[in-house]
Amino acid sequence: MNTYSVMRMDTAKVKSLIKDTRDKKEKMRYSFAYGLKIVSTVLFCMIVVLLFTALFGSDNSIVGVITVIAVMVFEKADLGIKANHAALTLIASFLILAVGPQLASKVSPGAGLVINLICIMTLLILSCHNIIMSNHSTIILGYLLLMGYDVTGDAYLKRIAGLLFGGIIVAAVFYHKHYKIIYRRSFKDLFKEFNLGTLRTQWQLKMALGISLSLFLAEILHFSRPIWVGIACMSLLQPFTHDLTFRACRRAPFVIIGSIAFGVVYYFLPDTFIPFIGIFGGLVLGLCSSYKWQSAFNCFGAISIVVPQFGLINAILFRIINNLFGTLFSIAFDKLFTLCINLVNVIKIKVLANAT
């Protein structure tokens, strides 16, 4: 296997390959390729973000982050429909990202709940037809991140332009990588196959309703950085309950570990190096294949952004409290949602039995 092939593999597979290889030269070559993959990925991300910052302003650097994540994901993942339809669907999804978060942030929490529910549900239908691909972790994450970086006036107009530009880039990369794959499904089939009796639609509804409600509660309870609650729910509300349990048991404790570790590094690090903590977290994150350590090192980038606004101690506390709340809410909501679905199924069975 050549260096490029190793670099194309995901983190878990590369680690497994390095671990299982007995030849020392091969092991070193794979390790080098793995390190090169991480460094090149970080450099690529930095270049794209800097480009978007130069074109659309520093307030819209987050658009570059969303675009580069989407490019790396949809280069490999597909939407389960014809490639040309999927490319246009991705552009449409980016346009929803341009409108939904902005509208939700300008209205009351109640109205925001409705807007978020409609937008997130639509995004899930458009981009998450194949739930195995886990595309929601890209598109919905982008939606939530944009909510946390609100802009107005000319900056918002530039954000719309940036998201349209980003959507076109993602669609072009997607089409180039997937146009040879033949699918019978079209754009219309995404909505035709919407059925509350299927696991996919039930999960999409659970995800959309869970995230929207968590954001609503975080806002009316006056949480600082409510998007952290929403992101926790997005990460935990998986199609299968056992996946939620697995993640919930790891997210809360390792967010605490990651937040405290950030505080220690921030406190002892010379001021000159503090701006690079987020980049360091990104590099280490690239080495992590397990959910628990991903949860821990995600804290480095997240907290470093808000320290200037809240201060070190408050930023750490908000990160921990918001994630604990998001974790507990996700567990409770999943149980309640499952109970409601089971109740509806029982009622259906009784109605059918009485009808016969």
Containing structural domain, residue 146: 75-194
Co-location of 316 and 240 in the same domain: yes
Residue 65 in any domain: the answer is: no
The residues, ordered by sequence, that sit 6+ positions from 215 with a Cβ below 8 Å of its Cβ are: 104, 112, 113, 116, 147, 226, 227, 229, 230
Question: How far is Cα of residue 174 from the mean position of the Cα atoms in its chain?
Answer: 18
- The last residue of one of the domains, among 138, 162, 194, is 194
Co-location of 218 and 345 in the same domain: yes
The residues, ordered by sequence, that sit 6+ positions from 42 with a Cβ below 8 Å of its Cβ are: 279, 282, 283, 286
238: left (phi over 0), alpha (psi -120 to 50) or beta: beta
Co-location of 100 and 181 in the same domain: yes
Co-location of 302 and 336 in the same domain: yes
Helical axes 109-127 vs 199-220, angle rounded to 10°: 150
The Cα diameter of the chain in Å comes to 76
Co-location of 28 and 88 in the same domain: no
Co-location of 215 and 345 in the same domain: yes
Residue 259 in any domain: the answer is: yes
Residue 119: closest CA among 136, 273, 134: 136
Secondary structure (H, E, C), the chain: CCHHHHHHCCHHHHHHHHHHCCCHHHHHHHHHHHHHHHHHHHHHHHHHHHHHHHHHCHHHHHHHHHHHHHHHHHCCCCCCCCHHHHHHHHHHHHHHHHHHHHHHHCCCHHHHHHHHHHHHHHHHHHHCCCHHHCCHHHHHHHHHHHHCCCCCHHHHHHHHHHHHHHHHHHHHHHHHHHCCCCCCCCHHHHHHCCCCCCHHHHHHHHHHHHHHHHHHHHHHCCCCCCHHHHHHHHHHCCCCHHHHHHHHHHHHHHHHHHHHHHHHHHHHCCHHHHHHHHHHHHHHHHHCCCHHHHHHHHHHHHHHHHHHHHCHHHHHHHHHHHHHHHHHHHHHHHHHHHHHHHHHHHHHHHHHHHHC
Co-location of 100 and 155 in the same domain: yes
Residue 186 in any domain: the answer is: yes
**Domains contained in the chain, number:** 3
Co-location of 343 and 216 in the same domain: yes
Contact (Cβ atoms closer than 8 angstroms) between residue 326 and residue 211: no
Rounded-to-integer distance, Cα 323 and Cα 325, Å: 5
Co-location of 108 and 216 in the same domain: no
Residue 64 in any domain: the answer is: no
Helical axes 291-310 vs 312-355, angle rounded to 10°: 130
Co-location of 128 and 255 in the same domain: no
Residue 31 in any domain: the answer is: yes
Residue 307 in any domain: the answer is: yes
- Output the pLDDT for position 57: 93
Angle at 248 between CA 329 and CA 277, to 5 degrees: 100
- The last residue of one of the domains, among 194, 229, 255, is 194
Contact (Cβ atoms closer than 8 angstroms) between residue 98 and residue 141: no
The residues, ordered by sequence, that sit 6+ positions from 7 with a Cβ below 8 Å of its Cβ are: 33, 34, 36, 37, 40
Residue 203 in any domain: the answer is: no
At 142, which amino acid appears?
G
- The last residue of one of the domains, among 164, 194, 224, is 194
Digit-by-digit pLDDT tens for the chain (356 residues) are 667 677 777 766 777 777 778 777 877 887 888 788 878 888 888 899 999 999 999 899 999 999 999 998 898 888 889 999 999 999 999 999 999 999 999 999 999 999 999 999 999 999 887 777 777 778 999 999 999 998 999 999 999 999 999 999 999 999 999 988 888 889 999 888 888 888 889 999 999 999 999 999 999 999 999 999 999 999 999 888 888 999 999 999 999 999 999 999 998 888 888 887 877 777 777 667 788 999 999 999 899 989 999 999 999 999 999 999 999 999 999 999 999 999 988 888 888 888 76
Q: And the tokens for 125? A: 């239908």
- Output the pLDDT for position 1: 65
Co-location of 82 and 46 in the same domain: no
Co-location of 189 and 214 in the same domain: no
